Chains A and B, each alone.
Chain A
């Protein structure tokens, strides 16, 4: 390796010693650039109004929770495209069971988590036991869920009681409950990945399934567990969304593009689609990047179609910049 020092390396070194993932640099840059544009072109609320910041966080909760699950699955070199409809099923079923009655809340929660667990189990079993590619498996599950739910419910069904809206709108002191839940989920994901055997095994299976097998891991179980956890995070997102909307409808999952966006945020956050590498803090940054972008675009009154175009471009730019860096470092 050549050891010539290039100007600018110092900055990189500092980042490396602080173990700052490049995605956080990217997040800060986007926030600053967006904020400055807001100052110049609009009313400058992004820098001055703390409510807007809080709003960015709250808007990130739904995607953030499920993206943590998605990150786990992707680290295991799998993918889950059924999360969007899992969210729909959760929202519809929970509001259908609750029917505005607080007494039904525990039952509803129990039922939707059970459904989520089964969806994850089926995904994991089909992938590992029937050896169907995870992309196809979860696309299949997604279509099955879509068919069932569209045949059964057409629009908003039932409602959640006021007490349940606490999840979506409540605060503990000045902090919204939903943000606490998001941080708990991210923290939980971090703990699972870095501090538990399951996490180690997941990196092993995702990094090289043959190595994992020859090291004596029951690789199938690891993948199945990851899929179950992922589906459960989708359920949690579904519960959050329904508590915000006060009633569930079949289209809310696909409408939020939770399937593809959860994958995109994980990848933007530095998780390798090929598996074995990544983590949930990066994913959180990815989610926040999306949140900041949305807020900036709203502030600037960007045309919604253009918004989507810009989002797409920024995702590609972010990922391209990492691979470029990685290649440069490897050279």
Chain B
């Protein structure tokens, strides 16, 4: 294979007919050209990753291939035959299924009802529930997960990973020939990702075409045979995965080499006194938590899903407060029973779930930025004072600080990209002069470039003397960012590791294999 061929996205002469092909697809939204003359082929028995920054057009392309959007121009071919999808149902019936990034289950309905929504086995409109449960079980058995998931369980009772499996089951049950997965691993732990990978291989071997959208390049390289890079609505290149490496892909995605994923770690002289101390604290999720967070450092909190990492952040910030034990801020005992108290104590919390916990999506950037400032001031003076005069100055200052890219601060936050939304979340805490920042999954579901700029911002905060507690399920992020790492397991602090510990060391602790017992080792980070 020569250099020229590896970058070609022209059909190769000896290839069989592509299972799904789009030709010259163009889609325009008011003010944006979301897709510009994109042509792509997806072969049976092949995993094809589509990568690109947020806003590159991946989602639009997927929605066009599944009938959720209708393209302005271009054609879709299925098995060489021209098709047009007027409604998602048409695409489903022709064997194209999609698993969306946001979970698409009805929490109050059973697994079987979710899988067969819209296609319930029925006679004269009457659903045969027994038959439906049986069919659901058969589909779950096909995936090899029938022991994990019962067809009659409510979707809300399942874990995130199990819900994802139900979504895959739903897709399979359509007799899907093409399965599109939009960021399927974003919410999964490593073992769950492994399970998913195995599943994808099995589906591929059955001759399905798998289209895999992800920000996690490691997984893309693990699973995909071909990688297509989109940028600004245009197809940059389709390459074979075994002929390129991650930095090639990143280069194609952002148009420049990102040689430093992470800013440099803090130096020992950067760390100051202990700002926040948690002593023997516990609540219904957490047991005997002891923690020290020092000025100017990033304390990474690692742990598997369900280990209590998010609960730790929520406890410190008063969302689900500690019931026992004590907390000290700057050596002074504090009680944090609610987020308001946490904010008053100059803490900031950048939540995992931007959309539901971090932002008011239908409000303008301006109001979102000022939300925390307003929440801790008196009820009536605020709007007049900060809403009009000083806000006029504060908002652009904040916007520049976090580099929000927008034409106007009056734009509703919902129209911003994921990375920009996260920047707005950050700015609202900067506005409140917080000196302890808690980040819960700061870069989940964010494109590479925004990721890097958020990492820079976090490091920037510590340089200003802010103490950062950063929770992440992505080990590279933990290792790349943390001056010290605390590993959670089973609601407890399993142990603490110095900067630059290996993934293996963290995983050992996170799975409960190693427990160094002591968590009060403030010196650990200085090794």
Interface residues of A (CB under 8 A from B): 2, 195-201, 203-204, 207-208, 210-217, 276-277, 331
* B246 CB-CB contact with A under 8 Å: no
**Can you report 19 residue pairs joining A to B where beta carbons are below 8 Å apart?**
A2-B284, A197-B127, A198-B125, A200-B116, A200-B117, A201-B118, A207-B106, A211-B104, A212-B118, A214-B66, A214-B100, A215-B104, A215-B170, A216-B88, A216-B92, A217-B117, A276-B106, A277-B108, A331-B284
In contact, A204 and B284 (Cβ under 8 angstroms) = no
Contact of A200 among B68, B100, B105, B120 (CB under 8 A): B120
Q: How far is the CB of A327 from chain B (nearest CB, A)?
A: 11
Is B107 located at the chain interface by the 8 A CB criterion?
yes
Given the known inter-chain contacts A197-B120, A215-B118, A216-B89, please indicate yes or no for A203 contacting B100, CB distance below 8 A: no
Give min CB distance, A86 to chain B, whole Å.
25
Q: Decide yes or no whether B119 CB sits under 8 A from chain A.
A: yes
- Measured CB to CB, the closest approach of chain B to A163, in angstroms, equals 34
**CB distance A203 to B122 under 8 Å?**
no
Specify the chain A residue showing the minimal Cβ separation from B174.
Answer: A216
Q: Does B428 contact A (CB under 8 A)?
A: no
How distant is B288 from chain A, measured CB to nearest CB, in Å? 15
The CA-CA distance from A215 to B285 in the complex, in Å, is 36
* Chain B residues closer than 8 Å to A199, beta-carbon distance: 127
Main secondary structure of the interface of B (DSSP, over half): loop
CB distance from B83 to the nearest CB of A (A): 16
CB pair B126–A217 under 8 Å, yes or no, is no
- Could you tell me the distance in whole angstroms from the C-beta of B276 to the nearest C-beta in chain A? 24
B160 touches A (CB below 8 Å) = no
User: In the assembly, what is the distance between CA of A210 and CA of B98, in Å?
Assistant: 13
Beta-carbon contact of A204 and B106 below 8 Å: yes
Known: A208-B104, A276-B106. A196 touches B89 (CB 8 A): no
B113: chain A residues at CB < 8 Å are 200, 203
The residues of A that contact B120 with a CB separation of less than 8 Å are 197, 200
- Residue in contact with B106 in the complex, picked from A195, A208, A216, A331, CB distance below 8 Å: A208
How many Å lie between the Cα of A199 and that of B113 in the bound state? 11
A331 to B127, CA, bound (A): 34
Which 7 pairs show the lowest CB-CB distances between chains A and B?
A216-B89, A207-B106, A277-B108, A215-B118, A215-B117, A211-B104, A217-B118
In the complex, are the beta carbons of B117 and A201 less than 8 A apart? yes
B87 within 8 A of A: yes
Is B279 part of the binding interface, using a Cβ–Cβ cutoff of 8 Å?
no
Instruction: Check if B237 is an interface residue, CB within 8 A of chain A.
Output: no
Q: Which residue of A lies closest to B98 (CB)?
A: A214
Q: Which residues of A contact B126 (CB under 8 A)?
A: 195-197
Asked if B129 is at the interface of the complex by the 8 Å CB criterion, the answer is yes
Q: Hey, which chain A residues are within 8 Å of B457, CB to CB?
A: none
Residues of A within 8 Å of B88, CB to CB, are 213-216
Scoring B residues 116 to 160 as 1 if CB is less than 8 Å from chain A, else 0, what string do you get?
111110100111010000000000000000000000000000000
Is B320 in contact with chain A by the CB < 8 A criterion?
A: yes
Minimal Cβ-Cβ distance residue in A for B306: A1
The answer to whether A214 and B285 touch across the interface, beta carbons within 8 angstroms, is no
- CB contact under 8 A between A276 and B118, given known A196-B127, A197-B127, A200-B127: no
A218 to chain B, nearest CB (A): 8
Tell me, in angstroms, the Cα distance from A199 to B110 when the chains sit together.
13
Q: Which of B87, B107, B108, B119 has the most CB of A within 10 A?
A: B108
Judged by a CB distance under 8 angstroms, whether B109 is at the interface is yes
Among A204, A216, A276, point to the contact of B87 (Cβ < 8 A).
Answer: A216
Q: How far is the CA of A78 from the CA of B107 in the complex (A)?
A: 18
Docked pose: A208 CA to B113 CA in angstroms: 14
In the docked arrangement, what's the CA distance between A212 and B104, Å?
9
Minimal Cβ-Cβ distance residue in A for B87:
A216
A215-B104, A215-B117 given; name 17 further pairs at CB < 8 Å.
Answer: A196-B125, A196-B126, A197-B122, A200-B113, A200-B120, A201-B118, A203-B106, A204-B109, A204-B118, A207-B108, A214-B88, A216-B87, A216-B88, A216-B89, A216-B93, A276-B106, A277-B108
Among the interface residues B117, B120, B125, which one has the most CB atoms of the partner chain A within 10 A? B117
Q: Is the CB of B106 within 8 A of A211?
A: yes
Chain A residue nearest in CB terms to B124: A196
CA distance A204 to B107 in the complex (A): 10
By beta carbon, the residue of chain B nearest A204 is: B117
A195 touching B87 in the complex, CB below 8 Å, given contacts A2-B284, A207-B108: no
Instruction: Name the B residues within 8 Å of A200 (CB-CB).
Output: 109, 113, 116-117, 120, 127
Q: Check A211/B320 contact, CB under 8 A, given A2-B284, A216-B92.
A: no
Please give, as numbers and ranges, the residues of chain A lying within 8 Å of B122 by CB-CB distance. Answer: 196-197
Residues of B within 8 A of A2 (CB): 284-285
Among A201, A210, A216, A217, chain B packs the most CB atoms within 10 A around the CB of A216
B104 close to A195 (CB less than 8 A):
no
